[in-house]
Amino acid sequence: MLEPTTSVQYVKGIGPRLADVLGAKGIHTVDDLLHYLPFRYEDRVNPRGISELRAGEMATVIAEVRTSGLFRTRRMPIFQMTAGQGRSRLKCTWFNATYLRDRFKPGQMVALYGKVEEDRYGGELQLVQPQFEILGDPSDEDGGEQKAASSLEVGRIVPIYESAGQGRLTPRWFRRIINTALENLPPELPDPVPAVVRRRMSLIAPREALWRVHWPDPGESLQDLQASRTPAHIRLIFEELFFLELGLELKRREQKAQVGIAFSPDNRVREAIKKILPFHPTAAQKRVLKEIAQDMEKPFPMRRLLQGDVGSGKTIVAFEAAIIAMENGYQVALMAPTEILAQQHYFSARRILENAGYRVVLLTGSLEEDRKREIRRHIAQGNAQLVIGTHALIEQKVEFAKMGLVIVDEQHRFGVMQRFKLMKKSADGAGNDHVGTFAPSTSLRTSLGRPAEGSADSSGEPDVLVMTATPIPRTLALTLYGDLDVSVLDEMPPGRTPIVTRRVSDDRADEVWQFVGKQVAAGHQAYVVYPVIEENEESELKAAIKMYKELGKRVFPDLQVGLLHGRLSPDEKEDVMRRFQKGELNILVSTTVIEVGVDVANATVMVVEHAERFGLAQLHQLRGRIGRGAAKSYCILMTGGKISEDGERRLDAMVCTTDGFQLAELDLELRGPGEFFGTRQAGMPNFQVANLIRDRQLLEAAKREAATVLAGPNHEVSKEEIDRALRHMRSHWQKTYGLVEVG
Ligand code: ADP
Ligand code: MG
Residue among 702, 634, 615 at smallest CA distance from 412: 615
Cβ of 316 less than 6 Å from ligand 1: yes
Q: How far is CA 168 from CA 4, 163, 165, 360, in A?
A: 25, 7, 5, 63
* Confidence grade of residue 651 (pLDDT, cut at 50, 70, 90): very high
Asked whether residue 225 carries a pLDDT value surpassing 90, the answer given is: yes
**Ligand 2 centroid to residue 102 C-alpha, Å:** 61
Query: Relative to the CA of 308, which ligand 1 atom is closest?
Result: 2
Query: Relative to the CA of 316, which ligand 1 atom is closest?
Result: 6
Cβ of 281 less than 6 Å from ligand 1: yes
Asked whether residue 743 carries a pLDDT value surpassing 50, the answer given is: no
What b/e readout covers 589-615, taking b as 16+ CB neighbours within 10 angstroms? bbbbbbbbbbbbbebbbbbbbbbbbbb
Asked whether residue 433 carries a pLDDT value surpassing 80, the answer given is: no
Cβ atoms of residues 500 and 635 within 8 Å = yes
Residue % of the chain over a pLDDT of 70: 82
Cβ of 627 less than 6 Å from ligand 1: no
Average pLDDT score over residue span 437-466: 49
Q: Is 601 helix (H, G, I), strand (E, B) or coil?
A: coil
Cβ of 282 less than 6 Å from ligand 1: yes
- Write the single-letter amino acid at 627: G
What b/e readout covers 197-220, taking b as 16+ CB neighbours within 10 angstroms? bbeebebbebbebbbbbbbbeeeb
Average pLDDT score over residue span 724-743: 66
Residue among 378, 31, 19, 36 at smallest CA distance from 186: 31
Measure CA of the first residue to CA of the last residue in the chain; give whole Å.
34
φ and ψ of 446, to 5 deg? -70, -25
Closest ligand to Cα 310: 1
Asked whether residue 742 carries a pLDDT value surpassing 70, the answer given is: no
Asked whether residue 386 carries a pLDDT value surpassing 90, the answer given is: yes
Average pLDDT score over residue span 677-683: 41
* Confidence grade of residue 97 (pLDDT, cut at 50, 70, 90): confident
Q: Which residue has its alpha carbon closest to ligand 1 atom 10?
A: 311
Average pLDDT score over residue span 374-400: 84
pLDDT at 480: 60
Per mean pLDDT, which range of 192-201, 232-241, 469-478, 539-548 is the poorest?
Answer: 469-478
Of 99 and 539, more confident: 99
CA distance 648 to 695: 27
CA distance 493 to 622: 19
Bridge partners, 632 (sequence order): none
**Ligand 2 centroid to residue 603 C-alpha, Å:** 16
Q: Which residue has its alpha carbon closest to ligand 1 atom 5?
A: 313
What b/e readout covers 96-125, taking b as 16+ CB neighbours within 10 angstroms? ebeebeebbeeebbbbbbbebbeeeeeeeb
Of 531 and 504, more confident: 504
Residue among 80, 233, 218 at smallest CA distance from 157: 218
Asked whether residue 456 carries a pLDDT value surpassing 80, the answer given is: no
Residue among 72, 53, 119, 52 at smallest CA distance from 91: 119
Asked whether residue 422 carries a pLDDT value surpassing 70, the answer given is: no
Give the model confidence (pLDDT) of 471-526 as tens digits: 666 656 666 666 678 888 888 888 777 899 999 998 999 999 999 999 999 999 99
Cβ atoms of residues 453 and 377 within 8 Å = no
CA distance 710 to 732: 18
CA distance 742 to 729: 9
Q: Which residue has its alpha carbon closest to ligand 1 atom 26?
A: 493
* Confidence grade of residue 177 (pLDDT, cut at 50, 70, 90): very high
> What's CA 69's distance to the chain center, in Å?
46
Of 406 and 422, more confident: 406
Asked whether residue 440 carries a pLDDT value surpassing 80, the answer given is: no
Residue among 495, 479, 487, 482 at smallest CA distance from 314: 487
Rg (CA), the chain: 31
Per mean pLDDT, which range of 461-470, 533-542, 547-556, 573-582 is the poorest?
Answer: 533-542
* Confidence grade of residue 388 (pLDDT, cut at 50, 70, 90): very high
Asked whether residue 457 carries a pLDDT value surpassing 70, the answer given is: no
Give the model confidence (pLDDT) of 277-332 as tens digits: 989 999 999 999 999 999 999 998 888 889 888 788 999 999 999 999 999 999 99
* Confidence grade of residue 536 (pLDDT, cut at 50, 70, 90): low
Average pLDDT score over residue span 20-39: 92
Cβ atoms of residues 540 and 605 within 8 Å = no
Closest ligand to Cα 316: 1
Residue among 359, 429, 427 at smallest CA distance from 394: 429
CA distance 342 to 322: 16
Across the chain, what does the average pLDDT equal? 82
Average pLDDT score over residue span 630-641: 91
Cβ of 307 less than 6 Å from ligand 1: no
CA distance 104 to 127: 16
Cis peptide bond upstream of 713, omega within 30: yes
Instruction: Please name the residues in contact with 626: beta carbons below 8 A apart, sequence gap of 6 or more.
Output: 499, 527, 603, 604, 605, 606, 633, 634, 635
**Ligand 1 centroid to residue 92 C-alpha, Å:** 61
pLDDT at 502: 95
φ and ψ of 695, to 5 deg? -105, 30
Beta strand residue intervals within 390-484, DSSP E? 403-408, 463-468
Query: Relative to the CA of 312, which ligand 1 atom is closest?
Result: 2
Q: Which residue has its alpha carbon closest to ligand 1 atom 13?
A: 313
CA distance 377 to 511: 55
* Ligand 1 pocket, mutate which of 289, 316, 343, 499 (most atoms under 8 A from CB): 316
Whole-prediction pTM value? 0.63
Bridge partners, 164 (sequence order): 169
**Ligand 2 centroid to residue 314 C-alpha, Å:** 6
Give the model confidence (pLDDT) of 46-60 as tens digits: 778 898 888 888 888
Give the model confidence (pLDDT) of 301-312 as tens digits: 888 889 888 788
Average pLDDT score over residue span 370-379: 90
pLDDT at 260: 87
Cβ of 628 less than 6 Å from ligand 1: yes
Query: CB atoms < 10 A from the CB of 142, how many?
Result: 9
Residue among 249, 240, 245, 243 at smallest CA distance from 691: 240
**Ligand 2 centroid to residue 469 C-alpha, Å:** 7
Cβ of 562 less than 6 Å from ligand 1: no
Range ranked top by mean pLDDT from 186-200, 570-584, 622-636: 186-200
Average pLDDT score over residue span 178-206: 93
**Ligand 1 centroid to residue 157 C-alpha, Å:** 57
Asked whether residue 39 carries a pLDDT value surpassing 50, the answer given is: yes
